[in-house]
Amino acid sequence: MNDSQKLIVNGCRRLEGELCVHGAKNSALPLLSAAVLAHGESVLHNCPALTDTDAACRILSHIGCKCRRSGDTVTVDASNVFGAEIPDSLMREMRSSIVFLGAMLGRTGHCRLSFPGGCDLGTRPIDLHLSALKQMGAAISEQHGFLECNAGKGLHGAKLVLSFPSVGATENILLASATAKGTTELHNAAREPEIADLADYLNKCGARIHGAGESVIVIEGVERLAPCEHSVIPDRIVAGTYLCAALITHGEVILTHCFPEHMNGFSQLFEAMGARIYTYGGGKMYVSGKKVNIAPPTIRTMPYPGFPTDIQAPFMALCTTAQGTSVFVETIFENRFRHVPELVRLGASVKTEGRVCVVQGVPRLTGAKVRAAELRGGAALVVAALAAEGTSEISGLQYIDRGYENIEGALRSIGADIKRV
Ligand code: EPU
């Protein structure tokens, strides 16, 4: 745990150069749990080295899989899955530990786990996950904070309708239904690119999933899945964060290994602020922030393909120095403005009222000591510090390290004065 570490940032350096985007945390985590379903050794390339992916590997080892990393490749041998219980200490480490539920039920028909942890963004219920799995034949009871889940006779297909397109619930349903008896029809599914990536992996393993990435997904259950080799998609939120960093310094960067089409929900707003963006084939994107100074229109976080809640905080940091007023409405999580008081310490003018935030652009930010309280809010503080006059000290790096691989090294490579102490 790196609670004692800090990032020291000397701001006001223009960022320039080329930066490679690592694999998506929110794809890698469900893919690591999906490997439980494949009888044998799966190979995942472009798997980011993050504390959250490490935690997923520890869960895999705990339930009997052999997991090893070499560079950005993680190999999971799920020939033997014997454990049916995920201990509380591992469940608390991250929210996405809950996707092991669908995978474990699919593979062994049994799972015992406690309620998941993760960044504190407000209450994060799992009722949609549990209701879907119950409709597929799982018996789930709750005792002393633990969930006891059994599908002794195996899971069966069902017609499922989500009242909200939950990313995690959609993932659990794909995992549980891939080897269930019969066909599952899922309506109002999440459409995030990470869902399509999970379905691609499962289909390579022999699953029959149609329509992933759209609102209706049909899964024809198969008997058994075989392992495969797969490359995790690039992290659109990490890419977006680095773009915010470049733009707030009026810099000019080329991102490589990114999928610009996954960023349409926010890249248009960069352009509305005055950025110039060109996308090339082969996963390249050029962005210039020389003329970025206009506050964007109202930003409302939405499920994909709308503006992602995960980029709200870094984007707000970018808006703190734009000319004019920006309004942010957070519709996904109830408590996702925890970065605001820290941005204010850096000189930003931001007011919060419930789920709405009003940012009045200021000519300059000033260096300060600030503390990350969660992952994306932490990244927002880094973005703001890069544009602040003088020195900033950012603590709470254990949150940032959940989702950004070597953030200081990446930003230093494009000219930032940033170091970890
Ligand atoms: N919700 C329910 N009941 C449920 C499930 C969700 O009420 O059973 C609510 C949540 O409380 C929340 C909303 O629905 O208000 C959205 O939750 P969702 O299930 O879509 O999100 P998640 O699966 O918990 C994933 C990402 C988050 C990202 C959200 C939304 C992973 C590991 N996490 O969370 O990523 O913000 O989707 O896009 O994939 C992050 O990376 O910083 C992060 C928090």
Give the span between the Cα atoms of 17 and 256, in whole angstroms.
Answer: 11
Whether the predicted pLDDT of 360 surpasses 90: yes
* Rounded (5°) CA angle 213-197-105: 95
Q: Are 357 and 327 in contact (CB under 8 A)?
A: yes
For residue 170, give both structure tokens. Answer: 């959609």
Q: If we measure between CA atoms, which residue out of 184, 233, 172, 190 comes closest to residue 209?
A: 184
Task: Tell whether the model's pLDDT for residue 272 goes beyond 90.
Answer: yes
Q: How many Å apart are CA 107 and CA 176, to the nearest integer? A: 9
Per-residue pLDDT band at 97 (split at 50, 70, 90)? confident
- pTM, full prediction: 0.97
Say yes or no to pLDDT of 120 above 80: no
Cβ proximity of 421 and 10 under 8 Å:
no
Rounded CA-CA distance 25/171 in Å is: 14
For residue 119, the model assigns a pLDDT of 54
Summarize pLDDT for 364-405 with one digit per residue, the tens: 999 999 999 999 999 999 999 999 999 999 999 999 999 999
C-alpha 170/C-alpha 403 separation (Å) is: 21
Six-digit token pair at 295?
Answer: 């506050």
For ligand 1, say whether the CB of 201 is within 6 Å of any of its atoms: no
Q: Which residue has the tokens 């890419």?
A: 239
Indicate the DSSP class of residue 155.
-
Residue among 302, 303, 296, 305 at smallest CA distance from 327: 296
Residue 415 and residue 412: Cα distance in Å, rounded? 5
CB distance 376 to ligand 1 below 6 Å: yes
At 30-75, the pLDDT tens digits run 999 999 999 999 999 999 999 999 999 999 999 999 999 999 999 9
Residue keyed to tokens 């899955």: 81
pLDDT band, very low/low/confident/very high, at 90 (cuts 50, 70, 90): confident
| Pocket residue to mutate for ligand 1, from 52, 174, 330, 332, most atoms within 8 A of Cβ | 332
Cα of 165 vs centre of ligand 1, distance in Å, is 9
| Side chain identity at residue 366, one-letter code | T
pLDDT tens, residue by residue, 150-182: 998 899 999 999 999 999 999 999 999 999 999
Nearest CA to ligand 1 atom 11: 124
Residues 289 and 285: their CA atoms lie apart, in Å, by: 13
Residue 127, ligand 1, Cβ within 6 A: yes
Extract the tokens encoding 411: 């930003």
In this predicted structure, what is the pLDDT of residue 122? 66
C-alpha distance from residue 302 to each of 17, 217, 318, 420 (Å): 31, 20, 19, 34
- Report yes or no: 98 and 90 within 8 Å, Cβ to Cβ: no
Q: Looking at residue 125, what is its pLDDT?
A: 86
Ligand 1 in contact with 310 (CB < 6 A)?
Answer: yes
Given 119, 205, 228, 258, the catalytic residue: 119
Q: How far apart are CA 302 and CA 329, in angstroms?
A: 10
CA of 313 to the centre of ligand 1 (A): 16
12 among known catalytic residues: no
